[in-house]
Amino acid sequence: MATPIRAPSLPFALAGFGSAVGIVAVIGASFGGGAKETYAALRLPDWAPPSWLFGPMWTVVYALMALSGWLYWRAGGSKTGVAVYGFGLLLNAAWVPLFFGAGMAVYALLDILALNLVVLVTAWLFFRRSRLAALFQGIYLLWLVYTAALNLAVVILN
């Protein structure tokens, strides 16, 4: 049986999850400075979204990610579940530097495929404690699957 987490009060825990996700967002923003230009220069599939859509989408997804982690923690989630969630944050943080910062679309694809698997496991673990937390992970996973497909298309077309 996994060890449940006993930690700070609810507002501090929510701030902690928000901060962790916020750090991931800042890393992405730091390495994504020329992302709009890079994205515009790529050969993209017909189903690729306009570049302006990524900011609002990731904002919503990041908010759901933070709420998901907090809901899981609040429901007595285990250290294992939080560790898997944290590993997903690390993989997420690596994608923008790989894709836009280093121009390594193939490595970014490998990263996002691993991230898809980690988020699937996270959703499964979260479901055992909080269905809403798992649902938010599921929404995140849907966006990741779409993003991975777009990353694959970029690898093929470029």
Domain boundaries, the chain: 10-157
- Report pLDDT digits (tens) over 11-21: 788 899 999 99
Per-residue pLDDT at 8 = 54
Q: What is the DSSP letter of 49?
A: P
DSSP codes joined into one string, 63-113 = HHHHHHHHHHHHTT-BHHHHHHHHHHHHHHHHHHIIIIIS--HHHHHHHHH
Beta-carbon count within 10 A of 120 CB: 16
The hierarchical CATH code for the domain 10-157 is: 1.20.1260.100
- For residue range 24-83, list pLDDT tens digits in order: 999 988 887 788 899 999 999 999 999 999 999 999 999 999 999 999 999 999 999 999
Q: Answer yes or no: is pLDDT of 6 > 70.
A: no
Per-residue pLDDT tens for 95-136?
999 999 999 999 999 999 999 999 999 999 999 999 999 999
